[in-house]
Structure 1
Amino acid sequence: MKVSLSFEKGSSKDLSIMVDALRASSTITIALDKFKEIYPVYTPEKAREIAEMKDAALAGERTGRTIEGFELGNSPGEMKEYDGGKDSLVLTTTNGVRTLENMESEIILIGSFINAKACAKAACNLAREHIEIVMGGFERTFAIEDFLAAGEILFWIQKELNEQEKLNIDDIDYFKEETGITEFALSAILASRDKEKVEKVSIKSKSGRRLAYLGYEDDVNLCVKENISENVGIYKDGKITLYNE
């Protein structure tokens, strides 16, 4: 099994995990407690069109702010409180949806701090040869919170694969590109092990500070909690549904 990490666009044709820790991945994960299906759409205009067609709730943001006229923002806190009675959600975001649209894997999962362990287990059950985490970033630049969330997911992936005897981290040959864990992925695992610093750094990241400035500090604090949800979203045919083993 090959395990890798990339930014914005991946190379795996097998299985990829989209990580946009602040906030799209977390919003989607929690929204799956409320909605049977989520339609991620890049443009607000297309989101409005699909929401009307599907009689769906409409959620979205641009540069962190809720889009005018939308029922919900890209907010996991708002998703927790939602009680509108609709089965479908249309979501448009600045970074996460664009990343999803760039992914070409047969299987695409949604991962973050809050569902890292569950996401890793699902990935190991579904993947055949190559698991890749693709980080969404912040305004097309590296986002440290995505790197650290990826590291948490990767930690559980290497642990699960080791138990399945599909990957032994002590026997990795870094010159074999077709198998093993890449150095970039391994560095994310190592960076994610200091739990106190991971939370502090993620909260004080560029994304975290901007969201706090906009009034979403509670969202940031929620998004950096580890393994508080068993939900894993799976993206197929333009919509996200809850993965069931």
Structure 2
Amino acid sequence: PLQKIEAVFFDLDGLLADTEDLHLQAYHIMAGHMGIAPTTEYLQSFFGAATSKNVSRIMKEFDVTEHSFEDMLKLRYDSYHTLVKTTPLYPMEGAETCIKIIQENSMRRALVTSSIKEHAVSVLENISKHISINYSLIDFFDVMIFGNEIKKLKPEPDIYAEAAKRVNIKPEKCVVLEDSETGVISAKKAGMFVIAVPNIHTLNQKFDMADMVVSSLLDVAGMDFMK
């Protein structure tokens, strides 16, 4: 199935950009305000799902009642955005190689992220400063789809189905690169070929639905469909 690929879809956090530590820090800041202390392992199970879902889950599971969901979500968003704007962010291993190869061939490419637009754009602007290509990554993508544009987020297929529609390529001709179980499930439900690229934070998630599991984007860069 990898012979007839016409589009590549990238997740952002933990796949293209090394942002997972900042997400963890932002959750810990929020948890501190709530007066709770979730473990890093507990928080790592959130990676791949939308922040709003995760904040709601924490408040429910830790029985947080003295703070409003809206205030805590805003705190979590603001903490993360501040970190993104003040911390140098780097591409994940192999991301730059993949981008350069795809830039030279005619495949369509989309960014498909659960992050809200404002955060994702800041991340792309940040890593563009630490990558040896002479344009912004924002200009690399034909299409960018953000979490705040779609009602049903990953693990539902809607966001990937929308990506295929916007690049005008059939789902079975799209390959998806994902670092989380939630993202893999979403893309498989949308009928796409999915390559899982787990990172240090998502290694313990389940990737049995993925068509392939590789250790980094360098492995993807060497695949035939990229040529």
Taking structure 1 as the reference length, the TM-score comes to 0.27
> Larger relative CO (CA 8 A, sep 6+): 1 or 2?
1
- Bigger helix share: 2
Taking structure 2 as the reference length, the TM-score comes to 0.29
